[in-house]
Amino acid sequence: MTDFTFFKKTREIDSKITEFFNNISEGGLLFQRAVTLYLEQGINEDFSKKLKQISSFETRNDQLRRDIEAQLYEHTLLPDSRADVLELLEGVDRVINKFESSLYMYSIERPTIPENYHTAFKDLTQTVIDCTEALVASARSFFAMNGEIENTLHKVMFFEKQADLQGTDLKRLIFDNTNLELAHKLHLKSFESAIEEISDIAEDVADNLTVISVKRSF
């Protein structure tokens, strides 16, 4: 069996991993609130503050990943296992990168989103955040070795499929609207896709986590 036992023995690494995942989770909540703020009020000080907070989390997570990587090399984790752990952290970190880049899209392009699409955008965002929360829970279980990972990984897949369905419905609503110019429709689609892509990233990481978990069991 692959040796992951140092995670139970090294408090400093454990603390940094916990902070890393807390930042992803809190970043998701901020992202959801920022999207709602944009739909209801447009760009304002509160929106900008949440974007700045997410950017701060993203910067901090980059540093945490580097610190964790350095400490992994100081311990006895096998090289293959070390690479798996680093790949997992890098994959999960892509989620908060996408939170940040998506909000920058809003901040820079400032799309006009008709009110009749607001509920669909909010519902899609909620599902995407549910998906990323399930991923974070799965990753935490992996490091905690508490046997709960299978109970959370399947939720990532469930929410990703739901996001696909909601995204398809939203795109259909957009392009069925004869009152919108094609350029406007394409602009709206790009923002729908930016949100939906977050769940695609979560699914990719969950697939990788499944493989790593199977390897650990041997």
Strand segments, DSSP code E, in the chain are none
CATH assignment at residue 118: 1.20.58.220
pTM metric for this prediction: 0.90
155-182: b or e for each residue (b if 16 or more CB lie within 10 Å)? bbbebbebbeebbeebbeebeeeeebee
Two tokens, residue 180: 């919108």
Q: Compute how many other C-beta atoms are within 10 angstroms of the C-beta atom of residue 22.
A: 14
Residue 162 within any structural domain of the chain: yes
Q: How confident is the model at residue 93 (pLDDT cuts 50, 70, 90)?
A: very high
Residue 1 within any structural domain of the chain: no
Residue 67 within any structural domain of the chain: yes
With contact defined as beta carbons under 8 Å apart, do 139 and 21 qualify?
Answer: yes
| The total number of structural domains that make up the chain | 1
**5-63 pLDDT, tens per residue?**
444 446 778 889 999 999 999 999 999 999 999 999 999 999 999 999 999 999 999 99
Residue 169 within any structural domain of the chain: yes
Residue 181 within any structural domain of the chain: yes
Residue 139 vs residues 63, 85, 112, 134, 206: alpha-carbon distances, Å: 19, 10, 37, 9, 9
Neighbouring C-alpha atoms within 13 Å toward the C-beta of 9:
9
- Distance (Å, whole) CA 98 – CA 92: 10
Q: How confident is the model at residue 78 (pLDDT cuts 50, 70, 90)?
A: low
Provide, for the chain, the percentages of residues in helix, strand and coil under a 3-state DSSP scheme, each rounded to the nearest 5: 85, 0, 15
Q: What angle do CA 114, 115, 117 make, to 5 degrees?
A: 75
**Is pLDDT at 212 greater than 90 in this prediction?**
no
Residue 2 within any structural domain of the chain: no
| AA letter at 99 | F
Between these two residues, 85 and 177, which has the higher pLDDT value?
A: 177
Structural domain boundaries enclosing 190:
7-216
Look over the chain and give the mean of its residue pLDDT values, rounded to a whole number. Answer: 90
